[in-house]
Structures are given as structure tokens and as C-alpha cells.
């Protein structure tokens, strides 16, 4: 692969990051880390959306300057992603000067082209959605179905974008590229939304919203979210109307844009139309993930079940975020809703990371020290059917990631771990040692250690810290590209000692997990 460029939705800074925000960023980070094992040119963009009426009102309530309010809350997202080892390449804020300038120029270009025009408008506006809603979008009580509040009727003179002009081209693109929207079953949903599409308002009167990017040549108008926020995916790369940067030329179009299913319409219709109007290539894939429920209930401040990623790590005294990352990334099949519960979290990570994978490495290295003083002898090195299983697993994992099937890829990794555990049980190296069959015992241990090298590479996108710890104990280069992995990583000679062997992941709720005891 020449390059891989992935983006997340940019988070609105009206509140602190929660587990739903974390799910999307972890999912994207796992995808990008995997593709970084296939190219030297992987790039991940995330950031924050910082304009609009909600920011204006919330900051006013606490007597705070809107920019200072955004600075404070944007930092919460930056800190949270650092805590979760989200290895993004760039963090964009829509209050960044370069972004604001480019957005103004995009708006001006589309106006000059005739794709943006001014018109008077009366409509129902939901401040929670920051969007105009049609009567048919409301619930039976006349409320916004998301925020459960009645929208206010607003009459304004705004600028409009000719979305209808691009309706047929968008429809054609979706139908001709069945893998464009992931999962594929969501394509029909978008096609249905296209049927009744209308031109969209892309500005607000400054008398209604003053916290935003002003329209060049018309200071009475503020550029609305669709062009402001959606353009971040190209402004971050240095897109310029007349002279795009080398970075933009290298990375655009995006290979995948990861978003929540609730904003699929804006990314698969509005965003595509804007790109078509700018005569830019379209992203290769839009991945619409599902929601994360808490104990099977939708997250809600009123229910008091909003979960902070930081609190999960603190609650279980986790020194690294790997267990949480693994659990979230594998929470649901691609595009489906997932669920978080404390009991399931403990059970899953204990079973997969501590009991199956971590324990397999720990006991194999311990037996190598016990029986052979940590040394690999040349006579141990023999072919095994398990090696072809491991190489085949690499291919299967790559195939799943090509379709952004993150949970499914993890199941393939676990299958290899299970086969390796079964191999140990079936061949019982402890019995071979007792019977004096030392060469056979050594071959069993060598075979498992070779498999563990492959497993450390495959689990790296999900659990980078655990993978590095495994690789260090195996004296294996964790930076090996997937296509370059061979079964000859464990060399003859001294591999380890008793002092070098450490558990890569301790069971949650184990006495050993509390180092104070």
C-alpha cells in the first residue's frame, strides 16, 4: 500500500468525552495501527468541532469567552485520547486559523461557482442537532426525535448550497460502489434519504449565531456547520483552492472516514456533494459504526449512566488502556451496536488477554527456563503444521481489516491462540520432560514461541502495550510488516531468564493485579 488515510468525526466540545466518543477513536486507531503494519505512510486525523449556538449559549451561561471555553474542553479530548493511546497523526480544531481561512475560501469558491446562493427561509430549527428539521422528521409530539424538544420556528435570510444539483451523481456513486458505505446494509437508508433531499442552509444570520466563521464579503452571515465542520478532513491536510499542499496530494482521498451511524446522512450526502462541487475525489469508504449502550440501556445524562473511559481505567487499576481498547474494539460486529458492562468487561479481558494469551506466553517461557535454562537449542527447530495455521491467520486478519471487520479479525486471532493452547495440552511438554524426551519437549516450546511472535504482531493494533511486552520477552521485532512475517523469529541460544519473564496482562480482580499486596 502506498498510503492509508483515516479520519474520525470531530467531537463537539460542549461536554467531556465519554465511552461513545472513545469507541469511535479506538476503532479508528486500531484500523490505522493495522494498516501501519502494511504501509509506512498511515495517517490518522481526529479533532474537535468548536462553533455554533450551543457553544455560544453554554459559554455565556458560565460567563466564559467562547474560545476559552473551547480551549478548556478541547484539552479534555486531547488528554483522554492520550490516556487511551490513540496514536493520531493530527488533531484539528475548527477554531484553528488555517482551517477558518480555508473554509472561507471554500465558501467563496462555491458561491462564485453558483453552487451557493442567498435566499429567505422559514423553518423548524433544533438547537440540539444544530439543524433545520422537516415536519416529517419530528415525532408524534412534534419534537426532535433525538433531543425530545420542540424545534423553534426561525425566519432568516441565509445562504443555501445546491444539494439537489448533485443528487443523481451521489445516487450513481453509491449504487456503482457497493462497498462505499460500510456496512453495506446502510446504503439503502441513504438512498431513501436522497429521494426527498432539498438544498441546505449553509449559513446563519450573525444576529442568531455570532460564534462561527464569518462569510467573506458578507459579515452579516456566519458559515454553518456543514461547510465548517465537514471541510476539516481536507483543511487539515493543507487543502487550498489554488495550491493544495503536498500532504493533501499524498493523502486525499481518505481511505476510510469513521463516523457514528447518526451522522451518516451528512457524510454520505452533504459531504459528497461539497466534494463534487469542489471537483475533488471522493473518500473510498464511509464506515458508520453503531452506538455503545451501557448495560443494554442507551447512554443518557438523565439516567446517570454516562461512562468515562478514564473512570474505567481507574476502577480496575489498569496501568495501560489495552484491556479497555481490546474490549471496545471488539464490542460489536462492524456497524452494529455494542454494549459495555463491568461484568462482561472483566470476563472478556480475563479470558482472552490473561488466561488464554498472556498465560500461554508466561508458562511457555517459564518451562523453557525450568527445563533448558532459557535456551533454544538447534535441535528444537522443526517444522510444524501450526506454522501454516499462523501464516494463514495473518491473511485472514488482513482480509477482515480490508472490510473493516475489526471484531471478526480479533476472533481469528483468538482462534490461533486457542490452537496454540490446544497444541500445548495435546503435546504436554511437562510430561515429555518427565519422561526424559527433552528434544521433543524443546520442540513444543519452540513451536509455541514462534506462534507467539505472530500473535504479538496481530494483537498489536488492539493492545499495543501488551504486544510490545510480548515482543520484548520473545526478542522479536514488533515493527515487522505483516507481509514480512516469517516463521524463523526465535533464534538459537539464550532467549530468556527467570528475571526477564513478566506477565503481560494480570487478571482483573486478581490479588496479583494489586501491586500493593
In this predicted structure, the answer to whether residue 48 has a pLDDT above a threshold of 70 is: yes
**Is the distance from CB of 361 to CB of 367 less than 8 angstroms?**
no
List Cβ<8 Å contacts ≥24 apart for 475-480.
none
Average pLDDT, the chain: 94
Residue 326, domain member (yes or no): no
Residues that are catalytic: 18, 21, 126, 129, 144, 147, 298, 301
Residue 447 DSSP class: H
pLDDT tens digits, residue range 116-144?
Answer: 999 987 888 887 776 778 888 788 888 98
Residues 282 and 349 in one domain: no
What pTM value is reported for the model? 0.93
Mean pLDDT of 412-416: 98
Residue 27, domain member (yes or no): yes
Output the domain CATH number for residue 351: 1.10.730.10
Residue 320, domain member (yes or no): no
Neighbouring C-beta atoms of residue 376, cutoff 10 Å: 20
Among 63, 65, 83, 94, residue whose Cα is nearest residue 16:
83
Pairing of strands 256-260, 218-223: unpaired
Please report where in the chains the cell 446522512 appears, as a residue: 265
Residues 190 and 46 in one domain: yes
Residues 6+ apart with CB under 8 A from 147: 126, 128, 129
pLDDT tens digits, residue range 191-250?
Answer: 999 999 999 999 999 998 999 999 999 999 999 999 999 999 999 999 998 899 999 999
Residues 278 and 370 in one domain: no
Output the domain CATH number for residue 162: 3.40.50.620
Structural domain range at position 389: 342-513
Residues 289 and 347 in one domain: no
Please report where in the chains the cell 501464516 appears, as a residue: 391
| CA–CA gap between residue 224 and residue 121 (Å, rounded) | 15
In this predicted structure, the answer to whether residue 515 has a pLDDT above a threshold of 60 is: no
Residue 262, domain member (yes or no): yes
Residue 322, domain member (yes or no): no
Pairing of strands 90-93, 42-49: parallel
| Strand ranges in 301-446 using DSSP code E only, listed in sequence order | 338-340, 375-376
Q: What is the pLDDT of residue 154?
A: 82
Peptide bond into 75 cis (omega under 30): no
pLDDT tens digits, residue range 279-324?
Answer: 999 999 999 999 999 988 877 666 677 889 999 999 999 999 999 9
In this predicted structure, the answer to whether residue 514 has a pLDDT above a threshold of 80 is: no
Q: What is the pLDDT of residue 510?
A: 58
Percent of the chain whose predicted confidence (pLDDT) is above 90? 86
What's the per-residue H, E or C state across 236-268?
Answer: CCCCCCCCCCHHHHHHCCCCEEEEEHHHHHHHH
What separation, in Å, do the N-terminal and C-terminal C-alpha atoms of the chain show?
Answer: 49
**For the chain, percent helix, then strand, then coil, each to nearest 5?**
50, 15, 35
Q: What is the pLDDT of residue 290?
A: 95
Residue 309, domain member (yes or no): no
- Cell numbers linked to 457: 504482531
Q: What is the pLDDT of residue 121?
A: 78
Residue 243, domain member (yes or no): yes
Neighbouring C-beta atoms of residue 322, cutoff 10 Å: 24
Q: What is the pLDDT of residue 128?
A: 74
DSSP codes, 376-387: E-GGG----HHH
Q: Is the dihedral of CA 388, 390, 396, 399 positive or negative?
A: negative
Number of structural domains, the chain?
2
Amino acid at each position: 500500500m502506498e498510503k492509508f488515510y483515516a479520519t474520525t468525526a470531530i467531537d463537539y466540545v460542549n461536554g467531556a468525552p465519554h465511552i461513545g466518543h472513545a469507541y469511535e477513536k479506538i476503532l479508528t486507531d486500531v484500523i490505522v495501527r493495522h494498516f501501519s503494519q502494511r504501509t509506512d505512510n498511515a495517517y490518522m486525523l481526529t479533532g474537535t468541532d468548536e462553533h455554533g449556538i450551543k457553544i455560544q449559549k453554554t459559554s455565556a451561561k458560565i460567563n466564559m469567552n467562547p474560545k476559552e471555553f473551547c480551549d478548556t474542553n478541547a484539552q479534555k479530548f486531547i488528554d483522554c485520547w492520550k490516556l487511551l493511546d490513540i496514536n493520531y497523526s493530527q488533531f484539528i480544531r475548527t477554531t484553528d486559523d488555517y482551517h477558518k481561512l480555508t473554509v472561507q475560501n471554500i465558501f467563496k469558491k462555491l458561491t462564485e461557482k453558483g453552487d451557493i446562493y442567498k435566499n429567505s427561509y422559514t423553518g423548524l430549527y433544533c438547537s440540539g442537532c444544530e439543524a433545520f428539521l422537516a415536519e416529517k422528521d419530528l415525532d408524534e409530539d412534534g419534537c426532535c426525535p433525538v433531543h425530545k424538544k420542540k424545534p423553534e420556528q426561525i425566519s432568516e435570510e441565509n445562504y443555501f448550497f445546491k444539494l439537489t444539483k448533485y443528487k443523481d451523481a451521489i445516487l450513481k456513486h453509491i449504487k456503482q460502489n457497493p462497498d462505499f458505505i460500510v456496512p453495506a446494509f446502510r446504503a439503502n437508508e441513504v438512498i431513501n434519504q436522497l429521494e426527498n433531499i432539498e438544498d441546505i442552509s449553509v449559513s446563519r444570520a450573525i444576529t442568531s449565531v455570532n460564534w462561527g466563521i464569518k462569510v467573506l464579503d458578507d459579515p452579516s452571515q456566519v458559515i454553518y456547520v456543514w461547510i465548517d465542520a465537514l471541510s476539516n478532513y481536507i483543511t487539515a491536510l493543507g487543502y487550498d483552492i489554488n495550491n493544495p499542499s503536498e500532504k493533501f496530494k499524498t493523502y486525499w482521498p481518505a481511505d476510510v472516514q469513521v463516523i457514528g451511524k447518526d451522522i451518516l446522512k451528512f457524510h454520505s450526502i452533504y459531504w459528497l456533494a461539497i466534494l463534487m462541487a469542489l471537483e475533488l475525489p471522493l473518500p473510498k469508504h464511509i464506515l458508520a459504526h453503531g452506538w455503545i449502550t451501557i448495560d443494554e440501556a442507551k447512554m443518557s445524562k438523565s439516567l446517570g449512566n454516562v461512562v468515562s473511559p478514564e473512570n474505567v481505567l481507574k476502577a480496575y487499576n489498569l496501568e495501560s488502556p489495552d484491556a479497555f481498547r481490546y474490549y471496545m474494539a471488539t464490542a460489536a460486529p462492524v456497524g452494529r451496536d455494542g454494549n459495555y458492562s463491568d461484568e462482561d468487561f472483566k470476563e472478556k479481558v480475563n479470558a482472552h488477554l490473561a488466561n488464554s494469551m498472556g498465560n500461554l506466553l508466561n508458562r511457555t517461557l517459564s518451562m523453557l527456563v525450568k527445563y533448558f535454562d532459557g535456551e533454544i537449542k538447534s535441535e528444537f527447530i522443526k517444522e510444524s503444521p501450526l506454522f501454516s495455521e499462523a501464516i494463514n491467520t495473518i491473511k485472514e486478519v488482513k482480509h477482515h481489516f480490508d472490510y473493516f471487520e475489526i471484531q471478526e479479525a480479533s476472533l481469528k486471532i483468538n482462534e490461533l491462540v486457542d490452537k496454540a493452547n490446544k497444541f500445548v495440552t495435546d503435546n504436554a511438554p511437562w510430561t515429555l520432560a518427565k519422561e526424559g524426551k527433552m528434544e521433543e519437549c524443546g520442540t513444543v516450546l519452540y513451536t509455541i514461541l514462534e506462534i507467539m511472535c505472530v500473535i504479538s504482531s496481530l494483537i498489536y493494533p488492539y493492545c499495543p502495550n501488551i504486544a510490545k511486552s510480548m515482543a520484548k520477552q520473545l526478542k522479536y521485532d514488533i515493527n515487522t510488516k505483516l507481509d514480512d512475517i516469517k516463521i524463523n523469529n526465535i533464534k538459537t541460544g539464550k532467549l530468556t531468564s527467570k528475571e526477564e519473564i513478566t506477565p503481560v496482562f494480570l487478571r482483573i480482580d486478581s490479588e496479583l493485579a494489586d501491586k500493593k499486596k
